[in-house]
Structure 1
Amino acid sequence: MSVRVRRVYDDPEPADGLRVLVDRLWPRGVSKDAAHVDEWPKGLTPSAELRRWYHAGEGSYEEFAARYEDELAAPGAAELLDGLRESVREGPVTLLTSAKDPGRSHAAVLVRLLEEA
């Protein structure tokens, strides 16, 4: 099982495997051709309300992660997460994000949940 996080602005690598964009909005300045995105499951991304709350600095990363996990437990998101888990079992998966600090973003939460399964 291999899952990793990379910034969508980084050049694709052969080891990326399935490239999954995990941001709700398309990243600025990146063409769809240049991004080499295989999947874009918007239902796996944090809600607009949660993103605004976190980026406004109103809470800690730990609280953001807990709230995001609650959102991922909803039926539609849970189904998408299960599908991504299956993809990870089949081969390498790279989660793509435009976050400046992927290690303290929703992508890191997804990696943890995928590795726990």
Structure 2
Amino acid sequence: MEMTYNEENWDRLVLELSKRFKVTADFDFMLFLIGIQELGQGMRTYSRQEKMDLINLGKCTLLSYEGYLEPNGKDDDGWPKFKEIKPLKSLTPSLTNHLLKKSAFEYLKQQLNL
């Protein structure tokens, strides 16, 4: 059965990730996982700053799926760069949160074959 985004299925996904990774998954953890996937260096020990950068990479990746950003090469350290194509400042915090959750749900559902 196809899982579509809604709060009940979001909670199921959070529970599934918590079990798989033996953590209490939250939204930042999901963004962190997406960032790791997109960076392509796999699981390793990351510094606090790198963890923050990975969460941001997760957000940028999801906003690119929503049409607000687009990939724009890599920086000198091999991290993906993005450029704004629709104004991010036009998004309210609640709309940003909704778009990120919906995109994270779709991304992780596909990555985890749910």
Relative to the length of structure 2, the TM-score reads: 0.29
Q: Which structure carries more relative contact order (alpha carbon 8 Å, separation 6+)?
A: 1
Larger radius of gyration: 2
The structure with the largest helix share of the pair is 2
TM-score by length of 1: 0.28
